[in-house]
Chain A
Amino acid sequence: MNKDIFVIIEHLGGEVADISYVMLAAAREIAPALQGEVVGILLGGGIENLCQNLAADRVWLFDDPRLADYSPTTNLHILGELIQQHAPRAVIFGDTSTGAEVAAGLSARLDLPMVSACHSLTVGDQSLGYDSRICGGRIQVQGELPSPTALIAMVPGGYNPDSGRSAVPPPIERLAIPHLEEPPIRLLSYIQPETGDVDISRAEVLVSVGRGIQNQDNLEIVEELAEALGGAVCASRPVVDQGWLPVSRLVGKSGRRVRPKIYLALGISGAPEHVEAIGGSQVIVAVNTDPEAPIFNLAQYGTTSDLFDLVPVLTDHIRQARSERVA
């Protein structure tokens, strides 16, 4: 029986998506106990350069101009044949706009069990287990993934993506593209996001300010922090009420709900109307000099440092970390 873990690598616009590293990290962790290898699988056109830092034991490449544009039916076809041929122990997809539909389609087509919203994987004695979070993250579900082959759609949060990166490029094998029919789903074009005011409901990193910012001039240091992080500035009610930021930046019951990876709450007390709109954040880090502030009940991390002392220092650290990473 094949004990390998297939990881279906996601990429968009010439970059490997972060979720791919999370999946690789997960695969890396369970592969040894299963005594299998981590196989990264990429479909696309002209994508060999994307394989360089994948922490896989080997990479299988389906590289063809016909695959340059994402088409779910084509992926279903190619991956379906591949999985049937090799019967790996597990196939990990991203629970995303491109991974989720292919995973489910394959589950139905190949009659293979599937689990979605998967946060982490565990290995027991010859068994492979999953840990998923559903119902807005309020319910945790665990169970066993049956053999011979299980499909997993994974969400971020359970693994550090760095563990899925490798300094050494993995060996690459180019696989033959099977016969492809004219796909019933075709890409026409990409529409890049507008450069108008930021849509904070789509941002991955948000730096949010509350009453603690005290006045409009102090927003400058916050803007710098947001810029260093590649994120956007948003705010709770009092700041927008004062007119220091436009309503489009309001996070709260009367503003927007946000689902960033990181929500940095500066000087926000955590009023219910605000807090209910940030529950979708993966990680909330709260900075508030009041240790009893309600925001600390929701945030995973916090500090009572004065934000005026902390923010410039944090900006420096981040700029440094970024330049280190690029190098």
Chain B
Amino acid sequence: MNILVIVKMVPDLVEELAVDPDGKGLDPDWVRWKPNEFDDHAIEQAILIKERHGAQVTVVIPDMDGAEDAMYAAAARGADRLVKLRGDFTGSANNHALARALGKYLPELQPDLLLTGVQAHNDLDGSLGPLLAEFMGLPYLGYVAGVHLQGDKANVRKEHPGGVVAEMEINLPAVLGIQAAEQAPRYVAFSRIRQAMKTAAIEEQEIPHLDISGAAEVSLMKQVESGERAEMFAGDPDQVADRIVAVMRDHGIL
């Protein structure tokens, strides 16, 4: 059983974000990259499957600042193979481009199951999972929170709004978009990560060309104004209640 986990690096929202002077993208000098939180869950889910059924887990990450640290942490958690994609991913690379590139390379690894986070907060042209699945000709199911293998199929739990969960069956090989692993990503003691730095080997895969078609063009990117104060409602309780009810109507509650 060969499991691939594709991890995207996304801007760390703890840092202040700044937009490029030309207004088309994020200023790369300010952005600090961290692994997408949902991809972290995907790694955890992969390790859980490995512990349960036995599997080889390969983690694939595009080469960006912090990607190596993320790979060593994954190795410390139990990932068997680490692959770094070499190419220019910081510029205009979007999910379509990444999915196309991966779609060409990943079949070499003969995966039975591909896991990736269901979404990333910097997704603008759809999320990586369904795009990748389509380019590889594989079925895709997203918002998955629980994976159990049954021979050449997987039983998964798909989350819908309102707490409704659908138990679904999917033929393998397939791509799953992980919403949450069955348990929260475990803590990895730093001494183990240090150990992984010494023993784990990172393979490299060259991605010569990124085809970014498939996304809509960006004509303007800007920061949303923060620190604006609330619109205040004044008056007696009836008047205020009226305004609040109106707000609720606008947002589909009521």
Contact = CB atoms under 8 A, between A and B. Distances in A.
Interface in B210-254: 213-224, 226-234, 237-238, 240-245, 247-254
A111 B174 CA distance: 21
A31 interface: no
Nearest to B247: A301
A151 to B, nearest CB: 8
Interface string A154-166: 0011001110000
A117 interface: yes
Contacts of A176: none
Interface string A88-131: 00000000111011111101110111111100000000000010
Contacts of A325: 254
A138 B13 contact: yes
Interface string B161-189: 11111111111001001000000000000
Interface stretch (A1-9, A46-54, A142-150, A210-218): A142-150
Given A116-B126, A134-B122, A97 B241 contact: no
B96 interface: yes
> Dominant SS at the B interface?
mixed
Nearest to B19: A139
A205 B168 CA distance: 28
B11 to A, nearest CB: 6
A116 B252 contact: no
B124 A115 contact: yes
Contacts of B174: 184-185
A143 B219 CA distance: 5
Q: Interface centre among A101, A184, A199, A296, by most B CB within 10 Å?
A: A101
Interface stretch (B56-64, B72-80, B106-114, B136-144): B136-144
Given A109-B134, A115-B216, A135 B252 contact: no
A97 B168 contact: no
Contacts of A101: 127, 129-130, 140-142, 177
A107 B168 contact: no
Q: Interface centre among A111, A113, A145, A157, by most B CB within 10 Å?
A: A113
Contacts of B253: 204-205, 229-231, 261-262
B166 A70 contact: yes
Interface stretch (B38-46, B82-90, B152-160, B192-200): B152-160
B249 A188 contact: no
A205 to B, nearest CB: 6
A45 interface: no
A160 B224 contact: no
B125 interface: yes
A191 B166 contact: yes
A205 B248 CA distance: 10
Interface residues of B, number: 81
Given A107-B96, A191-B165, A139 B254 contact: no
B202 interface: no
A146 B134 contact: no
Contacts of A190: 164-167
Contact of A135 (B122, B171, B217): B122
Given A104-B127, A115-B215, A140-B223, A97 B161 contact: yes
B251 A305 contact: no
B170 A185 contact: yes
Contact of A114 (B160, B215, B226, B227): B215
B123 interface: yes
A301 B243 contact: yes
Nearest to A262: B253
A227 interface: no
A82 interface: no
A268 B41 CA distance: 33
Contacts of B233: 301-303, 305
B130 A108 contact: yes
Contact of A18 (B227, B248, B252): B252
Contact of B131 (A107, A161, A185): A107
B172 to A, nearest CB: 9
A303 B127 contact: no
B214 to A, nearest CB: 6
Contacts of A300: 230-231, 247
Contacts of B121: 134-136
B135 interface: yes
A22 B252 contact: yes
Contact of B216 (A103, A113, A157, A304): A113
23 contacts: A97-B158, A100-B127, A101-B177, A103-B126, A105-B134, A107-B126, A108-B96, A114-B96, A115-B216, A116-B123, A136-B121, A140-B223, A141-B220, A143-B219, A144-B216, A156-B252, A184-B171, A184-B174, A204-B162, A261-B252, A296-B230, A317-B241, A321-B248
Given A188-B166, A317-B245, 7 more contacts: A70-B166, A139-B26, A143-B216, A199-B163, A300-B247, A304-B232, A313-B240
